Structure 1
C-alpha cells in the first residue's frame, strides 16, 4: 500500500487530495495543527473506505514536523507522495500580517519564510532520501500563483516566500531527472471552492493526481480569479487548503 503525506492538510484542498489519492488505494497521512479538525477529515475519509490517520504538528516547528513524518513512516510505511500546501490561520495573519510591495520589511518576510519556504524544505528533505533510495516518489508543492505566474503586489511578503519555494521545486525537478523521483509545483490563481469548476477542491485534487501519475509537468497553473482581483486588494487566499 502506498502512502501520501499531506502537510498543511485542511478542510478543502487537503480533504479533497486525501479523498482522491485514497480512492486510488493510498493510505493518507494528515499533518497540520489542529488535531480535532484533522480528526474530522480522517473520520470522513475512513467512512469512505480510506485508511487515514492524523499526525498533528506545527509546520513551523521543524522538530515536530520531523517527528510527525517519522511517525507516518512507522505507522503507514514509506511516503510515496508528499503534498505540501500550507495555509495561514487568522491567528497567523494577526501575528504576521500580509503587506504590500511598498511596505515590505525584513520582519514582515521572516514569518512567511518560516511557513512557506523553510517548512517545505524541511518536509521535502525528510522524505527525499528515502525516495531516492527506492527510485520512486513524488513531491508536490502547492502555493498561490503570486509565487511566480501572477503578479500580486498587495501580498508581496507572502510571495517572496512562495516564490523562493517555487524556484527551488522547479530546480529540484530538473535535478531529479532520471532518478525515478518527480517534483512539481502547482500555482493556484483561484479562491478554492468559491469560483467555477476550476476552483473546486476535487478538480484541483484531480490535477494533483494527474501530476503524480503523468510525471511530465514541472508546474501547473490553476486559473479562476475574478477580473477585478487586483483592484479589490483582497488577502491572498490561494493556498486555503
Structure 2
C-alpha cells in the first residue's frame, strides 16, 4: 500500500487530507507536536477503516522531524507522498517591523522544516523514480498582505524553492507543488469572510497528486 506522510497534521485540513488519501488506499503517517491529538486522529481514521500511525515531532526540531519521518517509513513503508502544512498561528507584523528576530521563527517553521522533511524522503523517491511533494502556503506567498509580512516572506521563499523543485524533478518522476490557500478553512466563517470546508480543500491536494500537471494550485473564493 502507498503511504502519505502529513507533516503538521491537525483535526481540520490534515484530517481531511488523510481521509481522502486513505479512502484511496493510502496508509497515513501523522506528524505534529502533540501526541495526544495525533492519537485522536489515528483513532478517527481507524473508525473509517484507514491505517494510520502517529509520529510526534516539532518541525522546528530538525533531528526530531527527520527521525519521525524515518520511523514512519520503517513502519509503514517508503513515503510516496509528503504533505507539509504545519500551522502555529499568525503573527501580525508589518513590513517595516520585520527584524531578523521575528522573521527567524517563521523561516524555521515554514522553510527549514520543509527542506528537512523533503531531504529525508526525497532520496527514496528518486531511487524509485516516483513520488509527490505537496506544500501548503497562503495567498500572501503570491500577493503579500501587509499585516503578515514575516509569514508571507517565509511562504514566498518556500514557494520559490518548490517551483524550482517542480522544474528540476519532473523528469525524475517526482512531482512538487504548492497549495496556496487564500481563504478561511472551515465549513462556516464570519459573515463576508471567504471560506471553504476542509474536505473541499483536500480535493485540491488529490487533484495535484493525480494530475501532476502544475506547480501550484490557488484556492480562493
Q: TM-score, normalised by structure 1?
A: 0.87
Moved more, 186-195 or 57-66: 186-195
- What CA distance in whole angstroms lies between the structure 1 residues aligned with 2:38 and 2:92? 26
- What CA distance in whole angstroms lies between the structure 1 residues aligned with 2:136 and 2:170? 20
Unaligned runs of 5+ in 1: 225-241
Change beyond 3 A, Cα 1:198–1:23:
farther
Matched-pair contact (CA < 8 Å) for 2:58–2:65: yes
Residue 115 of structure 2: which of 111, 114, 121 is its match? 121
Which residue is equivalent to 1:130?
124
Report the Cα offset of residue 138 of structure 1. Answer: 0.1
Moved more, 112-121 or 196-205: 196-205
Aligned-partner SS, 1:154: coil
> How much is the aligned-residue C-alpha RMSD, in angstroms?
1.4
Which residue is equivalent to 1:164?
157
Matched-pair contact (CA < 8 Å) for 2:8–2:31: yes
- What CA distance in whole angstroms lies between the structure 1 residues aligned with 2:218 and 2:207? 13
Which residue is equivalent to 1:176?
169
Which residue is equivalent to 1:199?
196
Residue 96 of structure 2: which of 84, 90, 102 is its match? 102
Change beyond 3 A, Cα 1:198–1:25:
farther
Which residue is equivalent to 2:41?
41
Structure 2 matches for 1:7-18, cutoff 5 A? 7-18=7-18
- What CA distance in whole angstroms lies between the structure 2 residues aligned with 1:115 and 1:25? 30
Matched-pair contact (CA < 8 Å) for 2:184–2:194: no
Report the Cα offset of residue 98 of structure 1. Answer: 3.2
- Of structures 1 and 2, the one with the larger relative CO (CA 8 A, separation 6+) is 1
Report the Cα offset of residue 166 of structure 1. Answer: 0.4
Which residue is equivalent to 1:234?
none
Unaligned runs of 5+ in 2: none
Matched-pair contact (CA < 8 Å) for 2:19–2:50: yes
- What CA distance in whole angstroms lies between the structure 2 residues aligned with 1:157 and 1:115? 11
- What CA distance in whole angstroms lies between the structure 2 residues aligned with 1:191 and 1:198? 4
Moved more, 198-207 or 214-223: 198-207
Report the Cα offset of residue 216 of structure 1. Answer: 0.3
Matched-pair contact (CA < 8 Å) for 2:29–2:52: yes
